Structure 1
Amino acid sequence: MAAQIIEFARRPGFGSYGRATRVRANFFEVTSLPDGSIFHYDATITPDVPPPLNRRVFQQLEAKYGPTALAGARPIYDGRKNIFSSKNFAFGDAYTFEIILPEDDGAPSGKRPPRAFKIRIKKVGEINMDELHKFLNNGGAETSNCLTAYTALDVLIRYKPSLQHETVGRSFYTSAGAMQISGGAEIWQGYYQSARATMRKMMINVDLSATAFYRSGNLVDTVVSIMGCRSPDDLRRGLQERDRATIERAIKNLKIRVIHRGDSPASKRKYKIIKLTSTPATHTRFDIEGTTQDVATYFQEQYRKRLNFPYLPCVVVRKDVFFPMEVCEIIEGQRHIRKLNDRQTADMIKFTCQNPNVRANKIRQGLNILDYRRNEYLQQFGMQVSDEMALVPARILPPPRIEYHPSSRDAIFAPKDGSWNLRDKKVATGATLGSWSVVVFGPETQFPSAAVQAFIRELVVTCQDTGMNIPNRTPPIKHHNPQGNIEEILKQMWLMAGNTAKAHPQLILCVLPNVGIPLYAEIKRVCDTIIGVASQCIQGKHMMAAKKQYCANVCLKMNVKIGGMNSFLSTNQLPFVTERPTILMGADVTHPSASDQSRPSIAGICSSVDAKASQYAAAIRIQEGKSEIIADLSSMIKELLRNFYQSCGRKPDRIIFYRDGVSDGQFAEVLKNEVEAIRGACQGLESQYKPTITFIIVQKRHHTRFFPVDKRDSDRTGNCLPGTVVESDITHPYQFDFYLQSHAGLQGTSRPTHYRVLYDENNFNPDTLQTMSYNLCYLYARCTACLLCAFGLPSCTFSCTWWKLE
């Protein structure tokens, strides 16, 4: 069974439903691939150093031994283990070279000796490019030889930029056009490259990226930026210990050069900041020739330099080696690895949020930097890349017809451009809210009782206008300190809600003073895991305005939280789901940050519980951190299948499993383990229960972007229209995959979703699966927009972005 599962589903054909069009995609065709074999070598460099230094060692090797031991080849190196060459090296299967790497600051060897490295190169094998040609033309399997060829082509297109620019992952970055932000940082424009196997050809996916770097220049200017001051004069009174600690955390481990010894490279020695002194330069003393002297006096006597900022602490680069901040320059090209604060994040969004025309033009500009045509490494391997962005066929699927309560005006309608409003519409099934309470996290001076009551009145009227029933129009209200005991006040409000209505509490409405995460997270933790009651958070600034549109949005969220249904699609819009009992599932695993080794990962699954696929249940588990496989999937599936049976009175005949958050290299492992877990869960409920399963990977973290060719095929932001499908030219040579851009663009360039069908016992044809996946996106209950989050996939952040922008 396992071997059968790992064979991914093949494309059953191509769809025809929808209006045909063409779009530009940020893919560039490889017009000429290497014909002969590519020779693969393994490199081991000792001592172990970071990739940038490894590349310098390899360059030194190439300069010294290129004409001899390397047989005149211009090999390429990934900075870690892999070397690829168009020629067989002359030394045989293995050889160890000794390389002397001089210091790059020109320091005399007597002061700082050059570093010695050993690099052992061992032949791994040869890549037969004929196998790749056969695979691309659907005449052969995707062998390990093909996978190694992808790696070689990736290294080839990135090698020259890695020597010329700062490299992070698959992107390289340039300081040209950098945007300065707070905290001594700046945002650099980056260019992503990846070699992709597509139908009958290899393509290079080129996209924009951005990341923060530390701003180069004088260290004092960086300190001023970190502290949010206008000039160094604002620091003349010296630093409080708290401020000193803040600066030390921000600049620790930064590389600097000193500028007080002259302008020659040998004089501008390089160091790494270890920490800051606890005293200013005027009071930081060190031993010299049997006496002690402060740093400020030493610089005055030794270098005839009177310090401009003696009141600032000194940087420590070695034990008892101190430098005043003003003689230190931050070296360019150091990535800002610390988490960006809210202001920096907002600046990053502003920098990266570019409409499709701007993004497409910047990608084309990036090709001038990449300069594939004059890349001597590509030329040596015989590889050529087109500079024209791919023009690919696409189709635009029509939107489904959405149904609201029959008493609504236009109760059944087709949305335009992926969004609509609730004007004169009532939710399909309005819930009754009788037992609830309101807690305002902030003093009455900030949120007056009259304003709170006015908002509650507007909210109640709006909810009733949209079809909810709220017999208790005056819930108990209480103000509370947001820094106080959150759990205690929520328990009190739960009791007040129940006592007032003489019924089990249904919901606690929470007014928040800001958009900070800690308070929101604590409210959800307490309500969801301790009290067991629904919570609805709103921002205080929106409450003070009490706009009807905002109240309508809140109403949508409240209605589904207490058992209502906002809208649905008629049965003929989802024939595959409605003609036979079918359960839809969406799953993801959320991981802690890479630096956090203690926290677990969280696995979540949502599944439909009704024939209309409009209501969903959830199952959540914690598991070992960083593991992508859902560990307790079998019991979660059993739980959700029981929910479906209790709601519908039928066991589902078919399971459609949308799986998020899986990278290409994890497909086989996830498929094998999780399909077996789903089957095991079904048979654990009943030995003969064997529903048919379709397992689909949903990828959103990729670099594919589409740009409309015809203006009539674009929305108001210049993005492709919702429903745009691309299933050829840039897709897999023969596996069943397609791109679907289902949502309307709000700002920037929209990202299509990549669907990869790995396993399909339901024998979908492309039109059925594409239409079903698109139509389901219109069932997102929390706002009136077509969104991928119809499945409640935990890692999909588009809904969060939408909600913040409303």
Structure 2
Amino acid sequence: MGIKEENGVEAADSLPPPPPINGVVPLKAEPGRFPGQTNISSKPKRVLMSRPGLGTKGQPIQLLTNHFKVVPSKVDNYFYHYSVSLFYEDTRPVEGKGIGRKVIDSLYQTYHTELGGSNYAYDGEKSLFTLGGLPQNKHEFTVVLDDITSTTSNGGTANGSNSTGAGSPEGGDQKRMRRQFQSKTFRVEINYAAKIPMQAIVDALRGQESHNSQEALRVLDIILRQHASRKGCLLVRQSFFHDNFKNFTGLGGGVLGCRGFHSSFRTVQGGLSLNVDVSTTMIVQPGPIVNFLVANQGVKTPFDLDWAKAKRALKNLRVKTTSSKTDYKITGLSEHPCNKQFFSLKQKNGDAESVEISVSDYYEKRGMSLSYSAKLPCINVGKPKRPIYLPLEICELVSLQRYTKSLSTFQRSALVEKSRQKPKERMSVLKDLKVGNGEDFFPRNGRWNFNNKKLVEPTRVDRWAIVNFSARCDVRKLVMDLIRCGGQKGIVISADYFIIEESRQHQRANPVVRVEEMFKQIRSTLPGAPKFLLCLLPERKTSAIYGPWKKKTLSELGIATQCIAPQRVNDQYLTNVLLKINAKLGGLNSMLTIEHGLNIPVISKAPTMILGMDVSHGSPGQADVPSIAAVVSSRQWPSISRYRACVRTQSPKVEMVDALFKRVSDSVDAGIIRELLLDFYTSSGKRKPDQIILFRDGVSESQFSQVLNIELDQIMEACKFLDENWSPKFTVIIAQKNHHTKFFQTSSDDNVPPGTVIDNQVCHPRNNDFFMCSHAGMIGTTRPTHYHVLYDEIHISADDLQELVHSLSYVYQRSTTAISIVAPVCYAHLAATQMSQFIKFEDLAPSESSSGHGGVTSAGGVPVPELPKLHDKVCSSMFFC
């Protein structure tokens, strides 16, 4: 393992015109395409490249990691894979989660001998694995479970058979209740599927990875998960969480953060390893159900609760009564309070007649006097036509129930704050950087500041105005401080400006109406169209005004804008705002010396376009919200600091970008890549890129092949469509942050130094991957980015690639720090997030769209609303900064 110490960097006042570099310059460019004819050819399926070598630059240091070596024994054994099908007694397939493990455990207890006494691992769904085969290739069993969901035997529930309720667990209905809730019969089919040699793991360690090796590792993971499940843990994908109060931390709103462990087996250069990491999930606050509801809604007493909200919050959660260990699933709430919710109760003496009784009286007669909950709705744990009512005060929420709804801003902040853990080590010093005026800039620990420094290419702000949506601040003082700080950074901000305050009569109107009314005021106040608007929001960017404002300015009017929520304003805050404004207006805040001196590895040798791709999905529970695909590309080669974005909607939860190449006719491509290629060509002295380096975010290892054979194909087709004789070379790199590998210094309590690169011991035995900690971890433990090089026609050496990736972590124009991932990926995420606000306040119907990209249809045939097209005046800008 080693630390990557990059070459020092400088800065200059401006970027001089680059000298001529080899490239094909067409004599004439037709609108919308390069010269040449279209003849799109298909390519054979690509496979992941192998590692060409290791990096050699930098000073080696000793590190620790959270991988534990595993020595497999008896590799000549086989895992046998069986498919499992579960059915109810009436042949309906079992679809509910959680039942499968109970059924299979009961099956093995009952039929242990018939199954040959073999041990097994079950994934909880469709797959069963055994060490050695079962006696037959096909088995069918009948399993009876006596404890799925049961009632209490001491009158703990009020039960009904219609909407008003009828009967009780006592007397004649008690047997029926037991049959329905205390036992169920299942039919289980087990069929042989495949034979998995454990030798496949050894082969994978030698670089000979196959489907069998992935399956063998999967079996090992399932064994660990099954063990955790039997210990009563909550399983969330590869993580497990134990019911231990010490693991809980309050996030507010009745939600707890629960700390657990992630575990996964991996084949690495050092052998078979078990990656163990701390993991966090959100759970519902266990205990009295009324406490959860009061906390969830932020009210003082149960009588202040909004019961429509309560019903949504409680749906499908599991509760138990104070007098029983049995748990039930909540299906709803009663229509009336306990003392007014009547049902028909059959008599114990066998009399056919029944009496009408309220739920509260039912419990009163059984010695359970209700206090506050008598006037509150009951919990319904039955079915619509057969309700079972439980008073609130005898119900407790079962522990370890996942909270899957979106967190509030406060809850997210609390989760981040309380999930931080100090590592054994922290940070160290990195390298040289510069900004304007030819002044040397020496970052410490991957950070720098602009105190008494000027920006590389400061812009001028004139014909501008301040728009105040009722923010409570001294606007004139804010503007004076902004002009002062701008002057210190080289940005000339005109003192000739307008302040437009929102009219009081519109402050409570719909956000779209507020924006429209504000622009009426702007038009009546300003002498002409503004070039820049500073928008003061009443709250932070969670303000409902943000989306309609951005849509109006960027799509309809083409005006650069910066939104701020001026609550605590100081010079550092204003400097951060100025960095964004300067980038949006076409300026440049800082640059690397190697960028100015044409010494960027790979990039400076030939016209090279850098792409960053990301897809943003809706929040949990928003299954119908379109996904947003964003691609950013570098422009003005040989710069690596300027980018343009192109954003489109696509089907919800679809990860592959489907609009990279979109052939409309024999001569028209309406895809993303065409737009970006033409922009690179016009902004780079009419040079076509000889090389295209793609950084892709947000995909898992199982999707690597799709990136190579679906997305890359689209990009290549877009290039051929512009010019069939033009064949740029491609390098495709995946950037992953969602992994669990961490690194620690052996001789320090600090995080690993910024610029640390790890490409041995814990990387893939064959594939070309490496970890990089490019940033300084100020709080908590640094999470490295895991880069996977899938494809490399450019043949970039390990040292050059690592230096390029590290350099791209320093050109993020919004920040005075090195960031944890390459800037193009961050920009793609910002662009997708910002433009998703455009449709946040729209009726999600395609006819409402003002986009000119044509119709988009989801995989299920449902139309997907499109994003409005960016105005020509801002489409090439870094509007997303």
Superposition TM-score, scaled by structure 1 size? 0.85
Please tell me whether residue 19 in structure 1 is matched to residue 55 in structure 2.
no
Contact conserved, 1:45 with 1:120, CA < 8 A, in 2?
yes
Within the candidate set 764, 772, 779, 2:796 is matched to: 764
Aligned to 2:266: 196
Within the candidate set 669, 675, 683, 1:639 is matched to: 675
Q: Deviations over 1:691-721 (max 9, x none)?
A: 111111111111121222232xx6xxx3222
The change in CA–CA distance for 1:626 and 1:180 in structure 2 (over 3 A counts) is closer
The amino acid that maps onto 1:133 is: V
Deviation (angstroms), 1:283: 2.8
Within the candidate set 642, 651, 654, 1:624 is matched to: 651
Within the candidate set 393, 401, 409, 1:334 is matched to: 401
Aligned to 2:118: 73
Contact conserved, 1:460 with 1:473, CA < 8 A, in 2?
no
Q: Deviations over 1:164-218 (max 9, x none)?
A: 1121211111121122443333222221111112115221111111122223322
Aligned to 1:404: 435
How far, CA to CA, are the matches of 2:417 and 2:832 in structure 1? 19
Deviation (angstroms), 1:472: 4.1
Aligned to 2:684: 648
Aligned to 1:10: 50
Q: How does 1:138-217 map to 2 (within 5 A)?
A: 138=207, 140=208, 142-164=209-231, 165-176=233-244, 177=246, 178-199=248-269, 201-217=271-287
Deviation (angstroms), 1:501: 7.5
How far, CA to CA, are the matches of 1:604 and 1:10 in structure 2? 29
The amino acid that maps onto 1:598 is: D
Please tell me whether residue 283 in structure 1 is matched to residue 335 in structure 2.
no
Within the candidate set 549, 572, 588, 2:614 is matched to: 588
Aligned to 2:871: none
How far, CA to CA, are the matches of 1:532 and 1:730 in structure 2? 49
The change in CA–CA distance for 1:25 and 1:310 in structure 2 (over 3 A counts) is same
Aligned to 1:666: 703
Contact conserved, 2:344 with 2:355, CA < 8 A, in 1?
yes
Within the candidate set 161, 178, 182, 1:112 is matched to: 178
How far, CA to CA, are the matches of 1:503 and 1:530 in structure 2? 16
Q: How does 1:354-365 map to 2 (within 5 A)?
A: 354-357=421-424
> SS where residue 406 of structure 1 aligns?
coil
Q: How does 1:223-372 map to 2 (within 5 A)?
A: 223-229=293-299, 234-235=301-302, 238-239=303-304, 243-259=306-322, 263=323, 269-288=326-345, 290-303=354-367, 305-318=369-382, 319=386, 321-357=388-424
Superposition TM-score, scaled by structure 2 size? 0.78
Please tell me whether residue 739 in structure 1 is matched to residue 788 in structure 2.
no
How far, CA to CA, are the matches of 1:156 and 1:798 in structure 2? 42
Contact conserved, 2:425 with 2:752, CA < 8 A, in 1?
no
Moved more, 113-122 or 526-535: 526-535
Aligned to 2:288: 218
Q: CA RMSD in A?
A: 2.8
How far, CA to CA, are the matches of 1:397 and 1:497 in structure 2? 50
The amino acid that maps onto 2:806 is: Y
The amino acid that maps onto 1:406 is: N
Please tell me whether residue 579 in structure 1 is matched to residue 623 in structure 2.
no
Contact conserved, 1:397 with 1:725, CA < 8 A, in 2?
no
Contact conserved, 2:630 with 2:829, CA < 8 A, in 1?
no
Aligned to 1:513: 538
Percent identity of paired positions between Structure 1 and Structure 2 = 31
Deviation (angstroms), 1:397: 11
The change in CA–CA distance for 1:766 and 1:573 in structure 2 (over 3 A counts) is same
Aligned to 2:168: none
Please tell me whether residue 129 in structure 1 is matched to residue 155 in structure 2.
no
> SS where residue 761 of structure 2 aligns?
coil
Aligned to 2:109: 63
How far, CA to CA, are the matches of 1:509 and 1:707 in structure 2? 44
Q: Deviations over 1:305-348 (max 9, x none)?
A: 25354232222233454222112222223222222333333332
The amino acid that maps onto 2:791 is: Y
Deviation (angstroms), 1:628: 2.0
Contact conserved, 1:789 with 1:799, CA < 8 A, in 2?
no
Contact conserved, 1:296 with 1:307, CA < 8 A, in 2?
no
How far, CA to CA, are the matches of 1:321 and 1:145 in structure 2? 49
Aligned to 1:52: 98
Aligned length: 731
> SS where residue 53 of structure 2 aligns?
coil
Q: How does 1:433-444 map to 2 (within 5 A)?
A: 433-442=461-470
> SS where residue 568 of structure 1 aligns?
coil
Within the candidate set 805, 814, 820, 1:782 is matched to: 814
Contact conserved, 1:573 with 1:775, CA < 8 A, in 2?
no
Aligned to 2:70: 30
Deviation (angstroms), 1:248: 2.0
> SS where residue 734 of structure 1 aligns?
coil
Unaligned runs of 5+ in 2: 1-40, 89-93, 154-173, 346-352, 662-670, 834-881
The change in CA–CA distance for 1:270 and 1:161 in structure 2 (over 3 A counts) is closer
Aligned to 1:453: 476
Deviation (angstroms), 1:767: 0.6
Within the candidate set 798, 821, 824, 1:791 is matched to: 824
The amino acid that maps onto 2:680 is: F
> SS where residue 779 of structure 1 aligns?
coil
How far, CA to CA, are the matches of 1:330 and 1:594 in structure 2? 22
The change in CA–CA distance for 1:193 and 1:567 in structure 2 (over 3 A counts) is same
Q: How does 1:479-628 map to 2 (within 5 A)?
A: 479-480=502-503, 481=506, 483-484=508-509, 486-487=511-512, 490=515, 504-515=529-540, 516-542=542-568, 545=569, 547-570=570-593, 571=597, 573-593=599-619, 595-610=621-636, 611-628=638-655
The change in CA–CA distance for 1:483 and 1:217 in structure 2 (over 3 A counts) is same
Within the candidate set 441, 456, 479, 1:428 is matched to: 456
Deviation (angstroms), 1:492: 6.9
Q: Deviations over 1:375-394 (max 9, x none)?
A: xxxxxxxxxxxxxxxxxxxx
The amino acid that maps onto 2:376 is: L
Moved more, 506-515 or 490-499: 490-499
How far, CA to CA, are the matches of 1:12 and 1:512 in structure 2? 52
Deviation (angstroms), 1:781: 0.4
How far, CA to CA, are the matches of 2:632 and 2:317 in structure 1? 45
How far, CA to CA, are the matches of 1:668 and 1:482 in structure 2? 52
Contact conserved, 1:401 with 1:573, CA < 8 A, in 2?
no
How far, CA to CA, are the matches of 2:410 and 2:456 in structure 1? 41
Please tell me whether residue 682 in structure 1 is matched to residue 692 in structure 2.
no
How far, CA to CA, are the matches of 1:4 and 1:755 in structure 2? 25
Contact conserved, 2:463 with 2:496, CA < 8 A, in 1?
no
Deviation (angstroms), 1:467: 1.1
The amino acid that maps onto 1:46 is: F
Unaligned runs of 5+ in 1: 360-395, 801-806
Contact conserved, 1:493 with 1:508, CA < 8 A, in 2?
no
How far, CA to CA, are the matches of 2:328 and 2:518 in structure 1? 58
How far, CA to CA, are the matches of 1:486 and 1:556 in structure 2? 28
More helix by share: 1
Contact conserved, 1:569 with 1:612, CA < 8 A, in 2?
no
Aligned to 1:39: 80
Deviation (angstroms), 1:537: 1.0
How far, CA to CA, are the matches of 2:728 and 2:492 in structure 1? 39
The amino acid that maps onto 1:102 is: D
